[in-house]
Chain A
């Protein structure tokens, strides 16, 4: 759901950039306060892994394809929604500048959708679901699904504000496609958490159900 330049008028793109910059500043503050030296390789591998996996568009029905965002994964593993903003911002800058994937004037909107909304929905829905059901992987799956689905609906609203999509049809079509793509997001989120937890339980953040030792 990388929004290209042409989809949003410049003034609106500027507003999204300003909002995104506030969250980027907060994510840098998170990094300054919470970055542990032993977790730096995890941050780097997560960022690179999210970049690589975003290059794999999986076919879904209706002549469409989609890839995971990775925001829920980054937020859950690193223990903060701001970690997702930090990681996704880096990924989106490289994608936009080097590969023309997502516009530059719309990058603020893309950071808001995939980093901020994806990270916050992923993190807090995982927490809430874990507290309710006391089980890691189903909670991670649903949190991943929800993070992508809500980010896609936010994108549809932005498209409606831009005058690019009519609101209702935009919400319906974005919702339809991303309800399916969300299964990929949820599945990979749960599997990646299992793998990281198995390899290095000590460096995972102390999120409920993912004890740090």
Chain B
């Protein structure tokens, strides 16, 4: 497989994963969030039910513990585009994937040339 075909085949595989992601990804909290909710009483560590009300309280409480109030409005929060539901999620993840590919390719090429 030559270099160009490898890049294209790789890109194809990666884009399929990116487009499928919003349909197959679970919306359950991830490991760190789940541990956080468990420790802060919004769910049982080994239980599956999350209390929205306690979850919100937990998020407020952790800010008072750490004092880190920094917040930042990202353009595509939680891999979504406002008002575009699933289509927005697919688009957001594909934009991110192509961007990462471009940055990694460009930066590697730049470093290679400089070296």
Contacts and interface: CB of A to CB of B under 8 A. Distances in A.
Contacts of B35: 156, 159, 165, 170, 173-174, 177
The secondary structure that dominates the A interface is helix
Nearest to A174: B35
Contacts of A63: 28-29, 34, 43, 47-50
Given A98-B76, A164-B62, A173-B35, A48 B97 contact: yes
Contacts of B92: 99
A25 interface: no
A205 interface: no
Residue of B1, B26, B92 with highest tally of chain A CB at under 10 A = B26
Contacts of B84: none
Nearest to A169: B39
The secondary structure that dominates the B interface is helix
Given A45-B101, A57-B30, A98 B7 contact: no
A10 B67 contact: yes
A5 B78 contact: no
A65 interface: yes
B32 A98 contact: no
Contacts of A45: 6-7, 10-11, 14, 101
B63 interface: yes
Contact of B78 (A100, A166, A170, A200): A100
Residue of A62, A66, A97, A105 with highest tally of chain B CB at under 10 A = A62
B68 A40 contact: no
Given A99-B79, A100-B78, A52 B104 contact: no
B45 interface: yes
B68 A5 contact: yes
A183 interface: no
Given A5-B68, A9-B68, A173 B17 contact: no
A40 B47 CA distance: 45
Interface residues of A, number: 79
- Interface bin, chain B: 35 or more
Given A49-B14, A63-B28, A66-B30, A44 B74 contact: no
Interface string A20-62: 0000000010011101111011111111110111011111111
A181 B34 CA distance: 13
Interface stretch (A88-96, A116-124, A129-137): A88-96
A38 B77 CA distance: 36
Contacts of B49: 63
Given A1-B30, A31-B107, A101-B78, 10 more contacts: A41-B3, A44-B105, A45-B101, A49-B14, A52-B15, A56-B24, A64-B31, A98-B76, A100-B78, A104-B70
Interface of B: 1, 3, 6-7, 9-11, 13-15, 17-18, 20-22, 24-32, 34-36, 38-39, 43-50, 59, 62-63, 65-79, 92-93, 95-105, 107-109, 111-112, 114-115
11 contacts: A36-B112, A44-B104, A56-B17, A58-B25, A62-B45, A63-B49, A64-B30, A95-B96, A105-B68, A164-B66, A173-B45
